Amino acid sequence: MNKDIQTQATTTSSGNNSEGGKEIMQGSEILIRSLLAEGVNTMFGYPGGAIMPVFDALYDHKDKIRHILVRHEQGAVHAAQGYARVSDKVGVALVTSGPGATNTVTGITDAMMDSTPMVVISGQVASGLLGSDAFQEADVIGVTLPITKWAYQIRRVEDISWAVSRAFYIASSGRPGPVLLDIAKDAQINSCEYSYSKTDFLRSYQPSPKVEYDKIAEAAEIINNAKKPFALVGQGVVLGSAEEELKQFLEKSNIPFGSTILGLSAMPSNHPLNFGMLGMHGNVAPNMMTNECDVLIAIGMRFDDRVTGDLKTYAKQAKVIHFDIDPAEIDKNVKTTVKVIGDAKETLPLVTQQLQNMTRGEWIEKFNPYVEKEYDCVIDSELYPQVGEIKMGEVINKVTEATHNKAICVTDVGQHQMMSTRYFKFTQSRSMVTSGGLGTMGFGLPAGIGAKYGAPDRTVCIFVGDGGLQMTMQEYGTIMEYDLDVKIILLNNNYLGMVRQWQELFFKERYSETHLKNPDFVKVADAYNIKGRKVSHREDLDDAISEMLNHKGAFLLEVVVETKGMVYPMVPSGGCVTNILLGNGHTL
């Protein structure tokens, strides 16, 4: 985003006055008051020298803002992501300068890729020391400009409330994303009058483009004339709170659909028009029908390469209608016939009004042979094996059934992630929390912590692999400190499973540096007062899942799964979306 937005703004006043006059206070207090003005009541962080004045001010506001002390700054940012994803609020992380700030880079990049609203506040050395290579100085603005919607360094106390107001507006409006505020230490210590104005307009920033009504009519006409329409549902529906609008749109014209990973919980898993997940490890029917439909309707998704495969062969037979709030996504990867730019909550109903009621029974029936083929060749043996080692999908299926498909599913990255997105079922939105665009190992545990704070009354199931868990396992300390009731399901195959799968398929089974010698995970959990249980035999699995879900408090369920399990179906990277491997000698 262009930094010129900092100079032009129209605001509405909501200042904090005392006895009719403005209060004089330190910058650290101004920051806390500004966060409170934005409705912040939970944030995640780690203190240090350059942010210490803010933590000192926070001490007087513990009854209003709950600060969660994580064990690593990366954990703070991932927790803020998890919080934002399930709560529909802006996640907030508070860290110190230098390594504290640079430790947030992975999480900020992840949030940018997955359009997660977040404000990261980092301390910085005093403004007079900037550029001198002072202790724990880092050019965090230079580092984060490419991975944020806005990054701004606050050098004067007078600019703190101004910057916070804009940060929250930018992070949460339009296509959401992360914002970074870097606050010099002298700005935190110096004093000025405090007032606060909520930002609701920036002249050089247009988060919600104006709807082009001719495009609405054109899209409706194409859909009404379609014989074989197919919709792709992305996270934009969830971010725009347009789930009900989507439902009405799909049902009026009986349009079958598939979902991206991040869009999975936008509609119930058992909806009759829902044919599952798109992409590399997605379901067979939606991938195949992408190249058989005559109209492809993309809603709040960006045509990621994991969804499209080879663009030269992707949906060439179809007219493409693309709904998106971000004009930059239109025609970026897939050439569109009609672009419908705007918030899906606004644009979908406008199109729905002009749609004809359709049945499309013959078209929908064409999906069923692919559904049956996938079940017979892949799903049945993955979910209901009778002999052999425990399978990942089997565990995930039992957990989602035991939670009546009402839990929040948080995953790390790897084979267990793909299995979770394939087999966990959803009955309500904002229930899928995973690292989609960046694919960040280590995401799962801290994101699950944030998700629990974002939805404290819901069951949070965190699926992790033995590789990713050990990247952020120090966050067990956060779980212990705050006695969090999260359920951690470790699917342990003693491998970096997804890399090993690729090595088996594409590198002649040369398993280079993917086997892991692991610790006793239950003992490690026990050291953090987290109850644990290890399961190696199928007959013990149901009882262990029941024990986990009925336990009041955190629980680690380690399940020893098949050592060299494979995630099928699979579209090889860069291949045609209909070139699907089913495994075990099966073909389409």
Q: Collect all residues with Cβ–Cβ distance below 8 Å to 542 and sequence separation of at least 6.
A: 398
Residue for token pair 């799903």? 379
Residues in the chain: 588
Query: Is 55 designated active site?
Result: no
On the question of a cis peptide bond just before residue 569, with omega within 30 degrees of 0, the verdict is yes
498 is a catalytic site residue? yes
CA distance 159 to 295: 50
Three-class SS of residue 258?
Answer: strand
Of 89, 185, 339, 345, the active-site residue reads 185
Name 248's Cβ contacts closer than 8 Å, sequence gap at least 6: 348, 349, 352
Q: Running DSSP on this structure, what letter comes out for residue 357?
A: P
321 and 337 Cβ atoms separated by less than 8 Å = yes
The catalytic residue among 22, 23, 52, 136 is 136
Using alpha carbons, list the distances in angstroms from residue 196 to 59, 126, 163, 186, 395: 21, 24, 10, 20, 51
> Strands across the sheet with 555-560, in order?
432-433, 408-411, 460-465, 487-492, 555-560, 531-535
Q: Which of 3, 135, 356, 406 is catalytic?
A: 135
Place of tokens 């966050």: 475
Question: Where are the extended beta strands (E) located within 185-337?
Answer: 191-194, 197-201, 229-233, 257-259, 274-277, 295-299, 319-324
* Run of H or E residues at 400: helix 392-402
Q: Verify whether residue 136 is a known catalytic residue.
A: yes
What's the CA gap between 304 and 334, in Å, rounded? 10
Q: Which of 29, 38, 73, 137 is catalytic?
A: 73
Active site residue: 112, 432, 498, 548, which one?
498
Instruction: Report how far residue 81's alpha carbon sits from residue 369's, in angstroms, rounded to the nearest whole number.
Output: 39
Q: Write out the catalytic residue numbers.
A: 73, 135-136, 185, 498
